[in-house]
Amino acid sequence: MEDEIWYMKQQSRVLQEFRRDIQGFWDDEAAREMNVRYLNPHEDDDKQMITGLDGQQNALQEAQIKLASASEHALRAEKLSVEVLEQLELAEQDVSIAYQFYEQYQNYHSHARSFLPEIEKLITEANSVCRGVAKE
Amino acid sequence: MGEVNPRLLAVILEDLQQELTRWATVASDTMATAGYTQRHAEEQVDQAHRHAAIVNDKAVNDRDAVENLRGQVEVLFSKCVEAKQLSHKTLAETTTALQKAQKTLSLWQTELEYALAWLARAEERVRRAEIELAAAEAELRRAESELSRAESAYRNCVNYRDDKGRRKDCSSEASRVRRAQEAVHDAVLRVKAAQLELAAAKAERERARARVKCCQTAVGIATKAVEFAQEAKERATMAVNASERSLETAQAAQRFMNQAVQKVTEEEEEADQMLKDVQLAANFTSEGQHHFRNAERSEESAQRLRIITRTELDNRIGLLYQLNKPDLSVGGGFSSSSSGIGVRATGGLVTTPTVSKSGWITKDTIMSVDDLPNPEDITGADDFQKVPMEQMQAGLLRLQEMQSAIESGEGSNGDYWSNRDTAEGLEYENGYRRIYDAFYGNDAIHITKNQGVYDITNGRHRIWLAKRMGLKFLPVRLVERSESRDS
């Protein structure tokens, strides 16, 4: 749009320059009336239009900058999201493995503990077998 | 001002018209581009809004997933810490149990050794006692045999009578008998003692055997206890290893979770920042829209002024050319001033004016709505019979859209609008062609100007509505007599 606005300004300038150029040739009462009623207001409207277009262009350029920035933030956020998922996946794998080891621990531990009362019983039994049997 | 060559002036005015036309084309194109650019920017902002919403939703979902898993990891970590503690405690207990079992086994192994030694000694005692008994019994037999012989000898001696009938002296035989009897007595005592000793030795042997047996049993039981304790310790060691590996893996999971927490926080910040940027972009786009609307209004006003100007220039150029032409047979025409330009600007024309035989000039022009008379007979919507007021209002609004295309020449014929209706899928009743026909066709607003006074011949409702809507200009078909411009 920058080119179009530049071209528009050019065209406006050409028109006004032409008006000034022909002023010497066309300067009667009707010319003055046309200038006052139509051509001068036309020039004012033209300037306002160009001001509006400039304002629009500047505003849209700022908007584009913000959109580009937003796009970069989106890219970074999406990249971070992928990394989050990767970390979660690794953590889940480790959780699964840890629970497998935990299950092993539970089995071994309960098995080990189950022996303890039996061992105590055997020791007691061993120590009582010779009760009442004379020694030398 | 000096005299100006009319032909030169006409050329200059035509050039001015051309410049105005070029300006109009460029302005129209520029506004079209600006409008497209504005719409495109607004679409981009809408798209960015949707994208930002998606990114934000993703961040929220990721946060939920992280928190959910973090809770699980924390629970797992607590379990693994407790498991490690318990497994170490159990290992200590099984180690203690093993030590105790081994000590018990060692004790009873020692006791068994003692018992076996005792048994060996008891066995030896029994052997010696049996030998002694055998010897004592042999001695007794010998003593009894000697006694028997001694008694026999004594009897023989006692019973001997010599030839004289005298007895022999049997004291020696008697002594031998006495000695034999004593020997028998001693042998009997010895046998009894040996028997007692043998019995005692056997009893001791039995006690030793019993001791050995119970010690063997105790050793067997203790050995089993040691085996159990060893297995228990082995299991406990494996439990410790498993618990420690579980804890290490849980710690690794925790580290991954911490990373995930950090990254999801960053992700939320980026999503938030994106949202803010999009909002700012929306604000800027809205500002651009405001500027565009201002430019649009200015361009519309400038276009209308350009149309009026061009029409006025058409008039003047026409008059300038007429100055150099013979009078027309229809009479009238325009009176000329020294400059040839004495017509007051009253409006603009798209078409060239036509002159009737009676001197009425008909021309299509654009007039200021304020200059048009106010139809007094119309007061409201109830006065709209042929076309409802709402429909006419819509038609006037559509006319405003069409105006620049018409005045630029592109839309200055009905076929253009018919093609547009077809392209947009519009029926005639709802299309652009109908509007064009209503204002530029046979049903155009018809105004008569006579001696400076305007009269509405056709289009009273449209003029009334245009005034209420605040429209500035309307295309009309103006019919005036040549004297009317002197007012």
Question: Which residue does chain B place closest to A131, by CA atoms?
Answer: B214
A82 touches chain B (CB under 8 A): no
Q: Which residues of A touch B345 (CB under 8 A)?
A: 30, 33-34, 37-38
**Chain A interface test: which of B299, B346, B407 (most A C-beta within 10 Å):** B299
Q: Which residues of A touch B305 (CB under 8 A)?
A: 38-39, 41-42, 45
Residue B483 pLDDT level (bands cut at 50, 70, 90): very low
What would the mean pLDDT of B144-158 be, rounded to a whole number? 90
Q: Which residues of B touch A80 (CB under 8 A)?
A: 263-264, 266-267, 270
Q: Is the pLDDT of residue B122 over 80?
A: yes
pLDDT confidence of residue B324: 65
Q: Which residue from B210, B266, B312 is facing A80, i.e. has the nearest CB?
A: B266
pLDDT confidence of residue B362: 76
Please give the residue that has the higher pLDDT: either B428 or B188.
B188
Encoded amino acid at B21, one letter: T
A133 touches chain B (CB under 8 A): yes
Q: Which residues of B touch A40 (CB under 8 A)?
A: none
pLDDT confidence of residue B359: 61
Query: Distance, in angstroms, between A36 CA and closest chain B CA?
Result: 11
Residue B358 pLDDT level (bands cut at 50, 70, 90): low
Average pLDDT over all residues of chain A: 94
Q: pLDDT for B38-51, tens place per residue?
A: 999 999 999 999 99
Give me the percent of chain B exceeding a pLDDT of 90.
60
Q: Is the pLDDT of residue A51 over 60?
A: yes
Least confident of A22-31, B63-72, B265-274: A22-31
pLDDT confidence of residue B350: 42
Residue entry with tokens 């004592």: B136
A46 touches chain B (CB under 8 A): yes
Under an 8 A CB cutoff, do B260 and A115 touch? no
Query: Distance, in angstroms, between B186 CA and closest chain A CA?
Result: 33
Residue B30 pLDDT level (bands cut at 50, 70, 90): very high
DSSP for B38-60, written as a single string? HHHHHHHHHHHHHHHHHHHHHHH
Least confident of A106-120, B19-33, B192-206: B19-33
Closest by alpha carbon to A27, among B2, B110, B50, B294? B2
> Which two structure tokens, joined as six digits, stand for B358?
């009676």
Least confident of B192-196, B344-348, B399-403: B344-348
Q: Is the pLDDT of residue B485 over 60?
A: no
Tell me if B232 sits within 8 A of A112, measured CB to CB. yes
CA distance B276 to A66: 9
Regarding an ipTM greater than 0.90, the answer is: no
Q: Which residue from B19, B69, B91 is facing A91, i.e. has the nearest CB?
A: B69
Query: Distance, in angstroms, between B370 CA and closest chain A CA?
Result: 15
Average pLDDT over all residues of chain B: 88
pLDDT confidence of residue B353: 63
What would the mean pLDDT of A17-28 be, rounded to a whole number? 84
Please give the residue that has the higher pLDDT: either B356 or B254.
B254
Most confident of A85-89, B146-150, B376-380: A85-89
A36 touches chain B (CB under 8 A): no
What would the mean pLDDT of B395-403 be, rounded to a whole number? 90
CA distance B453 to B98: 130
Under an 8 A CB cutoff, do A74 and B51 touch? yes
The 3-state DSSP class for residue B463 equals: helix
pLDDT confidence of residue B115: 96
> Which two structure tokens, joined as six digits, stand for B277?
């940027």
Least confident of B119-123, B225-229, B349-353: B349-353
Q: Is the pLDDT of residue B327 over 70?
A: no
Residues 6+ apart with CB under 8 A from B431: B417, B418, B420, B421, B424
